[in-house]
Amino acid sequence: MFTPLPLEYKANQRRMSCVSLYTEQSEVEGARRAGEGKMNEKDYFNYELQHIDSKTGARAGVLTTPHGKIETPIFMPVGTNSAVKSLTGDQIKSTGAQIILGNSYHLYLRAGDKRIRDFGGIHGWMNWDKPVLTDSGGFQVFSLGHLNKITEDGVEFQDPKNGERHYISPEISMEIQQNIGADIIMAFDQCAPYPCDYDFAKSAMERTHRWLERCFKAKTNPKQALFPIVQGAFFEDLRTESAKVISTFDAVGYAIGGVSVGEPKDVQKHFTEFTAPLLPQNKPRYLMGVGTPEDLLDGIKAGIDMFDCVLPTRNARHGSFFTWNGKSNIKNKKYEDDSLPLVENCDCYACKNHSRAYIRHLWKCQEATASTLLSIHNIRFLLNFVHLCREAILEDRFEEFYNEHYKNLEAIQLFHHYRQIKRLDCHALTGS
């Protein structure tokens, strides 16, 4: 059974919210132990594939979860430490976010999965009433490779902040994610780097498959959907084998991992296009860690339904914001007296209330509000973008939408690429 809420938790409104969530989780656990009703994920999750674009295969659907419906395709803002950086819950909701992402690796280290459980799970902890997805921590294990030791049983790793040693296995990952209580949880996997040799990629993929079976055996809460992850690095036969193996598990949805790990964009695009059709058509498909407007267009065209990425808030912290013609930067002097919003006709809070000149002024004064406003805009821009993609799919005109918008984005990317080459040439000539 779950540990009772701490006595020191005094705030009445949040206490009631947490007690409700705690009681709900206790009822699920009690019913499971008593064998009542043989509850499973299908009692709480459903995916309706509403339309497939006839020319591209792009998909529109609705994923139902215990905390609400998610219209796909969808972009998921990342709240690694149970907060989307620089934004409050109300500000996140104002962007139209239907689901957010947290990371169980970071939440296990701080604040601790058991503490989060005792506050009613991630929803009570954050006071967030919409769906949440947690990553298993497999990617963090990969990205901090110099601090970990991978064995068949699991991973021993070092906390990069305080040096403490920790251990996570597939079973412990499931325990952590069930304590956190997200609607969608991810299988514990081994992500291969780019580049890597075939034997390493195959070994990591096969371990991922063995760990997946252990994850499904360890998972007990039917109000959480466990998504398996395709691995196989950048080898088509391995991707094919991995998609085949994970599809034998009757999951609510499936994910494509091991991309956006340093490979060129054309390689990422190819393997997304190659892998997506290998997954079940009647289940949602999640492309992990990808989220530029160009990536969204390519992924949706390939048949992807769900995306996440830290770029909207990370870019904002560096002054960068999305436009219909690529990225721009509020630090540019041309915005010093510009009375226009960041993007004309954008309905985000920043664009409806403030000018480019004002936000630039805040940035120059090192006011944190500048990053907040840019983050609100960037997240809203991507959510509005995928909504327009969804409308185009439902009206069976996504190919035209793709060609129109990709042309604009591609042109600006080529311009920046050419300018970068010229800059490098100048450095070479001057020796700087």
Which residues are known catalytic residues? 135, 308
Rg (CA), the chain: 22
DSSP string, 189-200: --PPPSS--HHH
Pairing state of beta strands 225-227 and 229-230?
Answer: unpaired
Q: Which two tokens stand for residue 276?
A: 């997506």
Sequence-ordered list of residues with C-beta below 8 angstroms from that of 314, at least 6 positions apart, any chain: none
Residues pairing with 290 in the sheet: 308
How open is the CA angle 163-166-171, to the nearest 5 degrees?
A: 160
User: Nearest CA to 285 among 88, 89, 10, 59?
Assistant: 59
Sequence-ordered list of residues with C-beta below 8 angstroms from that of 331, at least 6 positions apart, any chain: 319, 360, 363, 364
Measured between alpha carbons, how far is 400 from 304 in angstroms, rounded to an integer?
18
Amino acid at 118: D
What is the SS3 assignment for 355?
A: coil
Measured between alpha carbons, how far is 201 from 192 in angstroms, rounded to an integer?
6
Measured between alpha carbons, how far is 303 from 287 in angstroms, rounded to an integer?
10
User: Nearest CA to 141 among 159, 126, 125, 124?
Assistant: 159
Helix axes 368-394, 398-430, angle to 10 degrees: 140
User: Nearest CA to 258 among 281, 279, 238?
Assistant: 238
Measured between alpha carbons, how far is 196 from 208 in angstroms, rounded to an integer?
16
Say if CB 124 and CB 115 are below 8 A apart.
no
Amino acid at 411: A
